[in-house]
Structure 1
Amino acid sequence: MLTLTIVALYLCLAGVGVYLIKQSFAKNHARYPPGPRGLPLVGNIQDIPHVKPWLTFAEWGKKYGDILHINVLGQHIFVLNSFNIAVEMLDKKSSIYSDRPFVPMSGELMGYGQTLPYLRYGERFRLFRKNCHRIFGSRAAVVVYHPIEETETRRFLKRALAKPDQLQAHIRHTAGAIILRICYGYEVKDDNDPLVDIAERALDQIARYGITGDFMVDFLPSLAKVPEWFPGAGFKRIARECRETLEEMAAAPYNFVKDQMAAGIALKSFSSDLLKDRTLTTEEDYVVKWSAQSLFSGGAETTVSANYSFFLAMTLSPDIQKKAQVEIDSVVGHDRLPSFADRTSLPYIEAICKEILRWNVVLPCTDHSVTEDDIHDGYNIPKGSLVIPNIWSMLNDPQKYANPSEFNPERFLAKDGKEPETDPRMVCFGFGRRHCPGLHLADASIWISTAMSLAVFDISKVVENGVEITPKVDFTSGLISHPKPFKCSIKARSEKAFALIQQDI
């Protein structure tokens, strides 16, 4: 009996040994995915484009496959052009794929390493997420903020009708008003609000300077120690100015809500809910302050891009606009504006909102970093590698979306026995533990703006000197992608629509 036990033990140890040897062999012999061939020492540093890199990544994907590898000065970068691969890696193995890379320019020098999108994976990150989930974690949780979104959208209708040539500014103002009220209980002024101005300044800076790799310091972190006056160190001045703006953006509204609470007049908000009935430690105060700032900056910018895209799409798609208006008229009528209570009864409006999110991808690419060595599908993914899901490519995949460049809401409606195409909200808000925590709030803001605008506006091409001006479909390159400025005509659909717009709020 003892002999059998010893034999069994030896067999068990042998099996473990064989397993470990196989794992070691697999790790040592696993190859990198294919990708463009780089140069000695510097790798692919000359191959990575600075303008709309997601387009180049998508083209490389056609040649090299859904997961490809590039190397920049020894930094391994893996681009994922496939939704399924992104799910397999970033969702199912989120425990090791949820870090962010250290980014010397935007993360360290500009100060964005303090915000949730840049925060390294760890305890502070989990606290940020916990705060956000507590307030915005589900559609049901954001219902309490629906009246704010409806009120501010009605104010937007008035401004857009009065000055349609300032459409983008109106959209930005409205997004700022909604998120400031929700995050801090702050009600913006009609024009030139100081907090909206700070936000616009900060968001413009991160859009212009926040792309990883646009500055050499991202590849040579030692350059961060170069003094600002040194020749060629202009990036240090840019970073300092951006950091000052960011710190002001975080502190000003946070101090406002604290002052309001001390005076006993604070409105309900994300910050006041986290601050009330508590004495915070220095760390807790920091987490609340920067959690709120992260929601403020994220919510203020992403919905601007989506809502501006809506007006571009409607300018170019009169038939879609008319079909949407028929649905609203039949469900809502002409005597009131749509509200969130109508949402389940307006499937075509819902489809338009999905198509807005797919057609112009607000965040075309995001960055993940790996905290442990991994082997995925036979490929070696070393610890510290940068993993980039190409969200633009996934939402323009002709295998999933027929004629992806076409704006077509009907792709999301079951028709003639065909199943709807993949809901873009499964993709556009990110993956794993890095998905957007304010996605339900953003989704609601886009929906109410779309529904109310279609209820009262006729949106069309501008006519100048007898010539109809067709806007060009082109989107900016940057961390966040916006439609490039365009002209459109915005008019009230009828006298009843005009009266609804002008109603007192």
Structure 2
Amino acid sequence: MSANIVIWSVLGLVFLRVLYERIRDRSLPPGPPRLPLIGNLHQAPTDAPWLTYQKWIKQYGPIVSAQFGGNTVIFIGDATIARELLEKRGHIYSDRPRLVMAGENLTKGMHLLLRRYDERYKLHQRLDAPVLSPRASKTYYPMQDLESKQLLFDFLSTNNFQKVYERYAGSLVYSLAYGIRLHTGNEPMLHHAHQVQENFGYAGRVGTWIVDALPFLNHLPPSLAPWKKTAEKFYQIEKALHLGNMQTGLASKGWNWTKEFSKSKQSDPMSEIELAYNLGILADAGFDTTSVQMQATVLGIFWAMALDENKFDRPLEFLPERWLEKSDDGKDQFVNFFGHGRRICTGRHIAKNSLFLLIARILWGFNIRHAVDQDGKIKEVDDLAMTSGFVSSPLPFEAVFEPRSAHSKEVIGNSWHSTEKDVDVLMDSIKAQQISAGLNVLA
């Protein structure tokens, strides 16, 4: 008799759950058909997820809903709609869903990207904002100038552009955050940072961890929850990197963000490891300049927006003049590749300044052409070939960088050899410039 009661109780709960899901789904945007209880979890893409989301957007419309276990996700494939919802109504769409493996087990709730939009998140925003403001970002030119000069000089002896770009980005942000230059791109701390990024990407992959779909399983003891052991191993690696870098920053001779943050009143309520994580996330975001494919309550799919055939003629063709046009509302096309609203990338001003400087100097100094094989045949490049995962980047390919002339080669060499390379001198000059400009960086 008791067994029958249990069975009927379970069936009743399942029926109520399915009924609830049917009622809930009626109020959501259209999307792929769901299965009871698991929703679209069986359809969660593990490879090139943006292609699946783009397919859904083409099939169901510019706003699509999907259900991954207990998480409802809304995908937006139209730039105008994304601006309307994520920027103009940012107070509604600024939160994050619960990501148990990456957000709780691995980073212990300290990763800014995965934090809920609460008072603690706002505290970190207030801590970061003074050094990342548009005016403060302009003062970092001395470091961008130095690193870009080395980048050009490195291209005189190598075509390994991935390593050259990575060294530039890593050295720039590590100089700003910790007062550390990366001279070769082979430094152990850079390899350590890569490992941290790979671990974080693995932990954050949608559909990989059952605990993200069924969070109550996280209450199981470690012996029955093997993902906890993995997360703890990753956490110890990440913790060692961030704490070690912060101590190096505090001990450096010149000014840097670590010293600035440690004196800020905004950091008073933070523990040492929480402050180290704040700095570490800024550094990680700076050297790994790729797009993050993460599960959010409302997610703008930039891939679909950029390839929207209703707005762009022949979107897959290289037609750079299209970007000179204005959108219907008078704004430049696609100014929001750094995100939307209150979750927009706070380091975007530094990134834009770096991009402008690098592109201008590279195009001035070099011709860029296809690599060829031993038979002289061009090695074609698939510009849509990307890695999959939480962090996505282009698959490796080859290109050749040739100086435009003997004069440009000479200028590049002379500029590099004659420039100031002492990071402490340059960082102190940046601080002096901020004080002279009346910037209250220390908040």
TM-score higher than 0.5 here?
Answer: yes
Equivalence for 1:436: 345
- Determine which of 391, 395, 403 is the counterpart of 1:480: 391
Query: Does the alignment pair 1:188 with 2:98?
Result: no
**8 Å Cα contact 2:177-2:257 kept in structure 1:** yes
Equivalence for 2:12: none
Measure how far apart 1:88 and its partner are: 2.6
| Equivalent-residue separation in structure 1 for 2:333 and 2:144 (angstroms) | 23
Equivalence for 2:368: 459
3-state DSSP class of the match of 2:67? Answer: strand
- Determine which of 27, 44, 47 is the counterpart of 2:43: 47
Measure how far apart 1:469 and its partner are: 1.2
- Determine which of 236, 242, 267 is the counterpart of 1:250: 242
After TM superposition, the score normalised by the length of structure 1 is 0.71
**8 Å Cα contact 2:76-2:300 kept in structure 1:** yes
Note the 1:67-82 alignment, pairs <5 A: 67-82=63-78
**8 Å Cα contact 1:205-1:242 kept in structure 2:** yes
Query: Does the alignment pair 1:120 with 2:116?
Result: yes
Query: Does the alignment pair 1:445 with 2:338?
Result: no
Q: 1:419 to 1:94 in 2, by over 3 A?
A: closer
Measure how far apart 1:402 and its partner are: 2.4
- Determine which of 424, 430, 434 is the counterpart of 2:334: 424
What residue identity is the alignment partner of 1:217? V
Measure how far apart 1:285 and its partner are: 5.0
**8 Å Cα contact 1:41-1:73 kept in structure 2:** yes
Measure how far apart 1:226 and its partner are: 5.0
| Equivalent-residue separation in structure 1 for 2:371 and 2:196 (angstroms) | 32
Equivalence for 1:201: 195
**8 Å Cα contact 2:178-2:245 kept in structure 1:** yes
| Equivalent-residue separation in structure 2 for 1:291 and 1:409 (angstroms) | 37
Q: 1:453 to 1:39 in 2, by over 3 A?
A: same
| Equivalent-residue separation in structure 1 for 2:223 and 2:33 (angstroms) | 38
* 1:72-125 deviation per Cα after TM superposition (whole angstroms, max 9, x unaligned): 334322212222222232222222321111111111122163121111111111
3-state DSSP class of the match of 1:172? Answer: helix
Query: Does the alignment pair 1:406 with 2:317?
Result: yes
Measure how far apart 1:367 and its partner are: 4.2
Measure how far apart 1:419 and its partner are: 10
Note the 1:81-160 alignment, pairs <5 A: 81-111=77-107, 113-138=109-134, 140-160=135-155
Gaps of 5+ in 2: 1-22, 420-443
Q: 1:293 to 1:502 in 2, by over 3 A?
A: same
Measure how far apart 1:486 and its partner are: 0.4
| Equivalent-residue separation in structure 2 for 1:421 and 1:401 (angstroms) | 15
| Equivalent-residue separation in structure 2 for 1:64 and 1:419 (angstroms) | 25
Equivalenced residue count is 391
What residue identity is the alignment partner of 1:245? I
Measure how far apart 1:293 and its partner are: 1.6
Q: 1:118 to 1:297 in 2, by over 3 A?
A: same
Q: 1:280 to 1:394 in 2, by over 3 A?
A: closer
RMSD in angstroms over aligned alpha carbons? 2.7
What residue identity is the alignment partner of 1:463? V
**8 Å Cα contact 2:75-2:298 kept in structure 1:** yes
Identity of aligned residues (%): 28
- Determine which of 401, 406, 428 is the counterpart of 1:490: 401
| Equivalent-residue separation in structure 2 for 1:226 and 1:277 (angstroms) | 40
Measure how far apart 1:30 and its partner are: 6.6
| Equivalent-residue separation in structure 2 for 1:169 and 1:234 (angstroms) | 35
3-state DSSP class of the match of 1:154? Answer: helix
Equivalence for 1:318: none
- Determine which of 271, 278, 299 is the counterpart of 2:286: 299
**8 Å Cα contact 2:167-2:183 kept in structure 1:** no
| Equivalent-residue separation in structure 1 for 2:265 and 2:63 (angstroms) | 48
Query: Does the alignment pair 1:62 with 2:54?
Result: no
What residue identity is the alignment partner of 1:269? N
What residue identity is the alignment partner of 1:471? V
**8 Å Cα contact 1:411-1:420 kept in structure 2:** no
**8 Å Cα contact 2:124-2:266 kept in structure 1:** no
**8 Å Cα contact 1:112-1:118 kept in structure 2:** no
| Equivalent-residue separation in structure 1 for 2:142 and 2:346 (angstroms) | 20
Equivalence for 2:433: none
| Equivalent-residue separation in structure 2 for 1:67 and 1:37 (angstroms) | 15
3-state DSSP class of the match of 1:498? Answer: helix
**8 Å Cα contact 2:155-2:401 kept in structure 1:** yes
Measure how far apart 1:434 and its partner are: 0.5
Measure how far apart 1:470 and its partner are: 1.3
Q: Which has the higher contact order (CA 8 A, sep 6+)?
A: 2
Measure how far apart 1:178 and its partner are: 0.3
3-state DSSP class of the match of 1:283? Answer: coil
3-state DSSP class of the match of 1:491? Answer: strand
3-state DSSP class of the match of 1:458? Answer: strand
**8 Å Cα contact 2:65-2:73 kept in structure 1:** yes
Mean CA deviation greater in 218-227 or 437-446: 218-227
| Equivalent-residue separation in structure 2 for 1:115 and 1:31 (angstroms) | 32
Measure how far apart 1:279 and its partner are: 11
**8 Å Cα contact 1:106-1:212 kept in structure 2:** no
Measure how far apart 1:28 and its partner are: 9.0
**8 Å Cα contact 2:371-2:378 kept in structure 1:** yes
Note the 1:174-323 alignment, pairs <5 A: 174-225=168-219, 235-260=227-252, 265=253, 267-276=254-263, 281-283=268-270, 288-302=275-289, 305=290
3-state DSSP class of the match of 1:141? Answer: helix
**8 Å Cα contact 2:63-2:74 kept in structure 1:** yes
Mean CA deviation greater in 143-152 or 464-473: 464-473
3-state DSSP class of the match of 2:288? Answer: helix
After TM superposition, the score normalised by the length of structure 2 is 0.81
3-state DSSP class of the match of 1:102? Answer: coil
